[in-house]
Chains A and B, each alone.
Chain A
Amino acid sequence: AQSVTQLDSQVPVFEEAPVELRCNYSSSVSVYLFWYVQYPNQGLQLLLKYLSGSTLVESINGFEAEFNKSQTSFHLRKPSVHISDTAEYFCAVSSRSGTYKYIFGTGTRLKVLA
């Protein structure tokens, strides 16, 4: 069985400040890791994913996440946030054995303040 813990339900941060959204997971099997973003009244959009290889993955809009196997973490970071980054962020895992489902964390609401 797998589980995902997002330690912060809400994170307020001022514009242009750095931010880190924390994600820890638990799994008895190897997993793939994902971050999704949800804007109000929208579905989920993939932000970035870790499949294999380099443990640092980056998105096109400046976010990055690092897979840490020993700490079973996949924290999301951005060095300088914008107002438009205000949204809810979900960390998710998917079993490498192909169970065809995602297990999501409870989400972190990022609020960027002017």
Chain B
Amino acid sequence: KAGVTQTPRYLIKTRGQQVTLSCSPISGHRSVSWYQQTPGQGLQFLFEYFSETQRNKGNFPGRFSGRQFSNSRSEMNVSTLELGDSALYLCASSLATGLGNTEAFFGQGTRLTVV
């Protein structure tokens, strides 16, 4: 079956702009999580959605937001972009039916560059 699909793969934006990233999970997976990966901070958890509800949120400013649609596809939005938002944004999907052990399947990521 198809894996986690993230679009676009690469993105260049200017400071102050806003950006929307998309993630299509594996068919049947209702949980979608987002992570930011940078050389300095490593992998940081942004938020997790299950059945259109945000269940957990990391320590990021309010400029970072997300949502999940009824078909489990998810989007994350970053407003008023800053240079420090340049990163690889990874999406992961899982069954996550209430057990923390469910394996997360990651997409290839969207590399965002802010200039």
Q: Chain A interface (Cβ within 8 Å of chain B)?
A: 31-32, 34, 36, 41-46, 49, 51, 90, 94-107
Contacts and interface: CB of A to CB of B under 8 A. Distances in A.
* Interface-central residue, B43, B99, B107, by most chain A CB under 10 Å: B43
A105 B42 CA distance: 8
A99 B50 CA distance: 12
* Interface-central residue, A36, A102, A105, by most chain B CB under 10 Å: A102
B109 A32 contact: no
Interface of B: 4, 31, 33, 35, 42-43, 45, 48, 50, 55-56, 58, 90, 92, 96, 98-101, 103-109
Contacts of B96: 100
A102 B91 CA distance: 12
B33 A101 contact: yes
Nearest to A93: B100
